Amino acid sequence: MRRLENKVAVVTGGGGGIGAATAALFVREGARVVVVGRTEDKLRKTVEAIGSENVSHVVADVSKVEDTERYVGEAVSRHGGIDVLVSNAGYEGPYKAMTEHSVEEFDRVMSTNVRGTWLSIKYAFPAMVKRGGGSVVITSSMAGLVGSPTHSAYTSSKHALIGMARALAHDGAPHNIRVNAVCPGVIDNEMMASVHTRLAPGAEAAFQGAISARVPLKRYGTNEEIARFNLFLASDESSYCTGGVYVADGGVTAGFM
């Protein structure tokens, strides 16, 4: 039997990267999946690439209450409930010294990463309670475990998500709702490609090589590797796991030689 047979999953940030890979894997494992994001074209590409009647999309800004209520409501109306929420939507924000970092930029990062995650869980919880339980997987980051220079807003937001997972694990436990956080390291996807361009324009390949050399496994991770982690936490295989923080960073946070 497939690991998510007859389950309904919502994946935010589903327009590419980890979200799209997670949605594709969940469908292969038997789930009906609703992907959520701000950009219609990206979501359509995800749905088309998966090529299944068991995946659909909703365009929404996860930081807005009305949009969150709408995409949660759409998932329930289309499929009868929600069993799994992967709260993956995120915004990286600028790389700037704090003195040059605007309040507006800080607020935008926190609005998407922290408020958006909290809203997704708040409005999905009642649907999960009606199903007798479920699993919430929050995408944090290795930046939620260590300090990151010139990246104060993003680092702060990802630390906050770990605290959120731990706190909401207690709220969910009486209802058999598990809440866990995954902390990816450097992943070979569009988000990291944009970082390369911003920090090393014209020397992106060399920059990636230098970063890879500092990873104990000497490479970037893949979207699919994180998706498999998400699958474990979404499935009954992790039935005794809640409030956990799971790191997939190639050994970076274990320390450098």
Confidence of residue 191 (pLDDT cuts 50, 70, 90): confident
pLDDT at 245 over 90: yes
Active-site residue identified among 154, 220, 240, 246: 154
Two structure tokens written together for 193: 């490609």
212, 219 contact by CB (below 8 A): yes
pLDDT at 190 over 90: no
Per residue in 113-143, pLDDT (tens digit) is: 999 999 999 999 999 999 999 999 999 999 9
DSSP state of 189: S
**Catalytic residue check, 95:** no
Per residue in 70-112, pLDDT (tens digit) is: 999 999 999 999 999 999 999 999 888 889 999 999 999 999 9
Rg of the chain's alpha carbons, rounded to an integer?
18
Residues 167 and 185: their CA atoms lie apart, in Å, by 23
